[in-house]
Amino acid sequence: MSVKWQGVMPALTTKFTADNRLDLPMFETNVRAQLDAGVEGLILGGTLGEASTLLPEEKDQLVAAALRLAGDVPVIVNIAEQSTQGAVAAAQRAKVAGARGLMVLPPMRYKATSRETVVYFKAVAAATDLPILIYNNPVDYGIEVTPDMFGELLRDCPTVQAVKESTRDISNITRLRNRFGDRLKILTGVDTLGMESILMGADGWVAGLVCAFPAETVAVYALARAGRIAEALPIYRWFLPLLELDISPQLVQNIKLAEVATGIGTEHVRPPRLPLAGAERQRVLDIIQKGIESRPELPDYKGLL
């Protein structure tokens, strides 16, 4: 079982109906748009997927729905648990459901030490043969996976293969590449550093606004990787105000509003989240509307993938 860990991989939102059930038809509409744009992986049950509000059987349903459409594109399940036992169980359940890879966060809530974090990741890796992408986001989750920690994990865990690099330190891409070469695949996890990360040698982009703008995201990635900077840069400059909607505690609500505007999602979120209201809602809508009105014409980028 293998995942290439390259290209654009959307961290998919979970679609809900007005009565708080899974909206699988709209979820499938969005997945089709992602696949048509040329994404190279589908990540389910992350922060954007409102994972903390999902029941285990709902996650299974989402995996099954994605697998019906994905073909050779790998379906990857996020693991974000409070206990090692819970993470091991979730990883094993994801394998049974049909996932081809895992994105694994450090322990939730408890701020584990470096030693505890490494042991946690090793326990998950030992419990499954699925390839693993480590999500390194100290800004939001309070735990940094340092190069030394990666060194131990890569030495002892062959299935630990990639990092979702979200430290927001662009030099960390070079730091990791210098130390580990191609042994550790690097995917940027910060939308507002998407193009910069690709130019610094990242292998891929775990993206958020791709949920609403799949073609534009993949075009920036493909053109940047091909060295066609003059074509990629105007698209990225147009995109940046929208990408900044991902850097917010309300990123789920923001991106779902953008999905509504592009016709591939709904605004429904699961409590305790609520739809945006008042001046903040209007501010976000204004950004989205401006982006829609000035949406660029894309070059033929798919031949570069």
DSSP, residue by residue, 102-142: EEEPPPSSS---HHHHHHHHHHHHHT--S-EEEEE-HHHHS
Is residue 153 predicted with pLDDT exceeding 90? yes
Residue 234's pLDDT is 98
3-state helix, strand, coil in the chain (%, to 5): 50, 10, 35
Q: Torsion angle, CA of 232/235/237/242, rounded to 10 degrees?
A: -130
- Residue 1 within any structural domain of the chain: no
Tell me the two tokens of residue 241: 């105000």
- Residue 89 within any structural domain of the chain: yes
CB neighbours of residue 205 within 10 Å: 31
Q: How confident is the model over 23-35, as a mean pLDDT?
A: 98
- Residue 2 within any structural domain of the chain: no
221: pLDDT confidence band, cut at 50, 70 and 90?
A: very high
Q: What type of residue is 5?
A: W
Tell me the whole-structure pTM to 2 decimals: 0.97
**CB of 22 closer than 8 Å to CB of 219:** no
Give me the domain span that covers residue 46.
7-304
Give, in degrees to the nearest 5, the angle at Cα 288 between 283 and 290.
Answer: 95
What tens digit of pLDDT does each residue of 228-273 get?
A: 999 999 999 999 999 999 999 999 999 999 999 999 999 999 999 9
What tens digit of pLDDT does each residue of 57-102 get?
A: 999 999 999 999 999 999 999 999 999 999 999 999 999 999 999 9
- Residue 99 within any structural domain of the chain: yes
Q: What type of residue is 187?
A: L
Q: What is the mean pLDDT of the chain?
A: 97
Residue 2's pLDDT is 86
- Residue 107 within any structural domain of the chain: yes
Q: DSSP 3-state assignment of 134?
A: strand
- Residue 236 within any structural domain of the chain: yes
Residue 1's pLDDT is 60
Q: How many domains does the chain have?
A: 1
Enumerate residues 6+ apart whose C-beta is below 8 A from 72.
Answer: none
Location of structure tokens 């900077």:
229
Domain CATH code at residue 146 = 3.20.20.70
